[in-house]
Structure 1
Amino acid sequence: MTISRLGDYLRGRRAQVMPPDVGLPEDGRRRVPGLRREEVALLARISVDYYLRLEQGRERRPSPQVLDALSDALLLDDDGRLHLYRVAGMSPLPRREGGVERTAPRLLALAELWDRTPAMILGRAYDVLAANTLGRAVFHHLEPGTNLLLAMFLDLSVRSFYSDWETAAANVVAGFRFLEGARPHDPRIQEVLRTAMEESREFADLWRRRDARGKSDAAKILLHPDVGELTLRMETFDVRSAPGQQLIVYHAQEGTRTADALRLLGSLTVPQPQHGDDSREGVS
């Protein structure tokens, strides 16, 4: 009997999961390591016979629901789940999202090293999750917890921040539709969409155009209240450890007025030493 790629992957991953890992008792009488077939079937809520056919290659087209159940039963991470779909000859459906999004501390720590590069991390519904120090100084109106889409249409101060607000707003709406298309059942995306439709006619008009595109490396001209006009290019990176999140990085060409303005903003945001610090030189 020829073992399919799907069956081979299932058998290999089954051997890597120990019963205590999934809340099952360890009985100590196993001839081979890992879970038994009937245990995987139990955890995935499918019949033992159906699971056996999957491993033996006699069943090659499981449903997305079965693949997701097997992903959970075998404790697969996002990359493992993607590979499971691939060896089954299918494209993965987006997972239903929910709960509070958080930024990986290591990613934010990395962004804080960029003292001349504003950066922010957006969630799957354009919620501002975090920004580095210079990012907070540049995008002073987008505090963590703010939603970029709603601020664009409902915060009057944002209109004066963008040199070309109409283009910026159209791009944000097109980007949001691109996100909504990937996760149409995400409750947070739907909540933001309902609020924007109810409270902004301008958003509703742009939404009906049905433009959809991801963020690109476009140039933006911003009007900062402290340092004046800033011309920044934008680069967008998907955060692999948190699907749906994006790292947005802005940079200026060296030798330009904008580069000088970023250095000035950076110097203004450097924490100042506390007076009276007994650790300073000369204090006994």
Structure 2
Amino acid sequence: MTTTQRRRPELAAFLRGRRARVTPADVGMPPGLRRRTPGLRREEVAQLSGVGVTWYTWLEQGRPINASAQVLDAVARTLRLDAPEREHLYRLAEVPFEPVPERMTQTVAPEVQGILDGLDPLPAVVYNSRYDILATNPAYRDLFMVPATLRIGVPNVLWTLFTVPEKACPVVHRERELPVMVATLRSWYGRHVGEPAWEDYIRALSAASPYFAELWASGEVIPPGPRVKTFHHEAVGELRMTSQSLQIDGMPECRIVVYTPADEAAHRKSRLLRETGS
């Protein structure tokens, strides 16, 4: 059985189930007579969605018909689908899904902060897709929030790394690591092209750092992933750390990034840094 053949029965069951839970009153219609179920009828869904009754019936029966994003959006509005349900509808109908742009998350729940604190002595931070720093734990602050970076005064990793004096930059091998971070930023930027906050951010950082402007103009795109990076701290010297990103439920485009020592020397220096910083 092909993927399409497996998806169509799921699509049919999904539409029937969601239609059954929407009452005429929910969409401003009178209940009518001889209604055997509390939900909408197929012809009512078709009328409210602006599609033909036969076409919608075939869709709900799981027949192999084509559906456009515009039509699926209309059906989703009629059936009062939330964002995850709308995405599920698209997947089942085999239509490319484009999420509705969401506001950039800028706050972190106490439960997430508790996870960061529980990871100490491993440095951990919450970034959004623009590399804004949303929350940190003490180990992260010991490693990265040194006087030179604090003077920047902008809670954003890229802004800090591209505007701090090179000799004070905590990232060793800037010429290797910063291009990767900019390429990762661009992979997220594709979802936000034209949004004023993103465009202003890119424009301002390009003006503040010719190196960022050069890397941004290259057009490189890389998704987030684990990496071994070398950092420098004036108290302990260089530390090789592995960075790992973890998604956070309920926080779109945000991730917990945890740094673990990549060798015994980094373990020893991390412990020393925490002992002197605590």
Shorter chain as denominator, the TM-score bin is: 0.7 to 0.9
Q: For 2:228 and 2:135, how far apart are their aligned partners in 1?
A: 22
For residue 172 of structure 1, what is the aligned residue in structure 2?
A: 181
- 1:260 is aligned to 268
- Check the 8 A contact 1:238/1:246 in 2, yes or no: yes
In the TM superposition, residue 233 of structure 1 has moved relative to its aligned partner by 0.9
- Within 5 Å, which residues of 2 pair with 1:93-242? 93-98=98-103, 100-140=105-145, 141=149, 146-156=155-165, 160-242=169-251
- In 2, the alpha carbon distance for the partners of 1:150 and 1:261 equals 27
The CA distance in 2 between the partners of 1:64 and 1:269, in whole Å, is: 54
Q: Structure 1 residue 9 and structure 2 residue 18: aligned?
A: no
Aligned partners of 2:59 and 2:65 also within 8 Å: yes
> Corresponding residue for 2:259?
250
Report what 1:67 is aligned to: 72
The one-letter amino acid of 1:262's match is S
- Distance across 2 between alignment mates of 1:88 and 1:148: 40
Asked if the contact 1:150/1:196 (under 8 Å) is kept, the reply is yes
TM-score of the pair, normalised by structure 2: 0.76
Structure 2 distance, partners of 1:191, 1:38, is 47
TM-score using structure 1 length: 0.75
Partners of 1:233 and 1:252 within 8 A in 2 = yes
What is the CA–CA distance in structure 2 between the aligned matches of 1:267 and 1:70, rounded to whole Å?
59
- CA drift at 1:115: 1.5
**103-112 or 47-56, which moves further after superposition?**
47-56
Q: Which region of structure 1 is more displaced relative to structure 2, 81-90 or 137-146? A: 137-146
Are residues 61 and 199 of structure 1, via their aligned partners in 2, closer, same or farther at CA, if it must alter by over 3 Å? farther
Deviation at 1:186, TM superposition (A): 4.4
**Structure 2 counterpart of 1:92, which letter?**
F
Secondary structure at 1:257 match in 2: helix
Cα distance change on mapping 1:68 and 1:158 into 2, 3 Å: farther
Q: Does the 8 Å CA contact 2:105/2:128 hold for their aligned counterparts? A: no
Distance in 2 (alpha carbons) for counterparts of 1:102 and 1:158: 32
Decide whether aligned partners of structure 1 residues 185 and 241 sit closer, same or farther in structure 2, where only a CA change above 3 A counts: farther
Q: How many residues align?
A: 266
Q: Please, what is the CA RMSD of the aligned residues?
A: 3.6
CA deviation profile, 1:14-49 (whole Å, cap 9, x unmatched) = 3345678x686997986424455577568x754574
Q: Secondary structure at the match of 1:250?
A: strand
AA at the equivalent of 1:249: V
- Among all aligned residue pairs of Structure 1 and Structure 2, give the percentage whose two residues are the same amino acid: 32
Per-residue deviation, 1:75: 5.0
Amino acid in the other structure paired with 2:268: D
Q: Secondary structure at the match of 2:119?
A: coil
Letter in 1 for 2:274: G
In the aligned structure 1, how far is the partner of 2:167 from the partner of 2:46? 54
Counterpart amino acid of residue 258 in structure 1: A
Q: 5-14 or 170-179: which moved more?
A: 5-14
> Displacement, 1:128?
1.6
Q: CA deviation at 1:234?
A: 0.9
Task: For residue 222 of structure 1, report the CA deviation from its aligned partner.
Answer: 1.0
- 2:101 alignment partner AA: R
Asked if 2 retains the 8 angstrom alpha-carbon contact of 1:64 and 1:93, the reply is no
User: Cα gap change, 1:23/1:160 in structure 2, threshold over 3 Å: closer, same or farther?
Assistant: same
List runs of 5+ in structure 2 lacking aligned partners.
Answer: none
- Measure how far apart 1:168 and its partner are: 2.0
